[in-house]
Structure 1
Amino acid sequence: MEQLQVGTLSITWLRGGVTHMDGGAMFGVVPKPLWSKKYPVNEKNQIELRTDPLLLQWQGKKILIESGIGKGKLTEKQRRNYGVEEESDIHASLEELSLSVEDIDIILMTHLHFDHASGLTEPDGNKHKSTFPNAVIYVSEVEWNEMREPNIRSKNTYWKENWEAIQHQVQTFKETYEVLPGLNLYHTGGHSDGHAIITLEEGDEYLIHMADLMPTHAHKNPLWVLAYDDYPMTSIYAKEKWITDAVSQDAWFIFYHDARYRALKWNDSFEITHEVKRNS
């Protein structure tokens, strides 16, 4: 498991599973000859997208960003359609760090699509139970409302199995919320109506998790948005604003989906100056 230490902040990427999604859908209207130079693609036109939660150990708290794809949650058809070759192994990942799911204090959810939220619950007989029973789960109010009452488009990704067992743990916010000093959630919309991003300030260092506004390093161009985005122009606006500001602050960009990089820094010319690569 890869780690990044920034001052007193420790980040560890847990094993949350992997999907392989259609490259064309992941890069929207961008022609394949362009995006395929930036990110590897297989013979099925699929790109690898990790679903690895970030464990933050900071300010005396154990915090997860996202929850993984879960284990035993998908049907064979879903595993095939989403190119799932590996499911979550969160329990074992935490055990390697001498931790357990009961030790998680806080979970930050940028949004609740199945590939981010399936790890919040796990099968328990013919029901589901909370995977992290002692955690407070933060998510935007707009996202939480749509999760429970999805529309004709979003019902394929918002599943009751992922929210019914954890609803008593959820705390919502509207536009911004400071979870801890220096740890903030910001509602952006774009990818979903309730999508949010996360920023962290540790000493002089600034870190940002753009979530599915920029799922991989290859999506840094503000115009390279997903066909899955519900509000692409909102995504473009948010990317322009947040990426430009973060680069100007020499920020660490931290990723959930990227199959190559866990974290990196860009200079003003978008050359990588620091990186944490994923071990193969």
Structure 2
Amino acid sequence: MSTKIRPLTFYALLFMVFLYGPMLLAPLFSFNDGLFAIFPLRGFTLKHYVAMAGNTGMLAALKNSLMVAVCVSVIATSISVPAAIALTRYKPPGSAIILSTISLPLIVPSIVFGVAILIVMLRFLGIELSLWTVGAAHVLICIPFSLTVLMSRLEGFDKSLEEASRDLGENAGMTFYRVTLPLALPGILSSLLLCFITSFDEFVLAFFLAGTEATLPVYLFGQLRFPNKLPGMLALGTSILVFSTLLVLLAEFFRRRGVPSNSPGDD
């Protein structure tokens, strides 16, 4: 077998380094005993991570982000479950148009979407900016992710199980509770986690719509204006990166548990 690196393989490796290399520098410099992210490193320290525990502004922003992300994940998934069932089971006319419309928040640039929602909230609805307006915008961008995960799970269902349940005398509600819901549970858990991650990490919409209450990404961005806060923000960014990566892996685990064993690409 030839051990030479093919040009395409080399390009792929180079692209991965270019894409993820800067991401790996943040954890490296977060342990640096110095104020600047430069080489050579001045020494190893955990003080930046320890200092986060006493940072009241960061803890308040973390609380805001967790509260919004939990609410958004539950609301977006709750809306998406019946929508996914309707689109996969009954296939109403215009399903493609409905899906395209729901996916618009993913296509429109975040800054355009944020400005549009800001104008609607302030000028037309007269709603004061707060974490609630952030949550409402996050629900709109999370529903397409949730719907995609749930529809892919429901498409793999054996419909004869639901038909058998009804033949045995169960009504539609009990069939959903005893048959559909347990089978869809891996997709629902995956949807909850993906929506949580999306909301927790989202910056642009939160920046426009949060008002005086900052979420964690907005707080991090604001602190980057101060050079002496850089090491602490690198530690915070590293913590968010690790947390988000773990949740993505967990969501993928639940998604794969819900995929039938004969699905291609999941062996």
Tell me if TM exceeds 0.5: no
Which structure is higher in RCO with an 8 Å CA cutoff and minimum separation 6? 2
More strand by share: 1
TM-score (norm 1): 0.20
TM-score (norm 2): 0.21
Find the structure with the greater CA-based Rg.
Answer: 2
More helix by share: 2
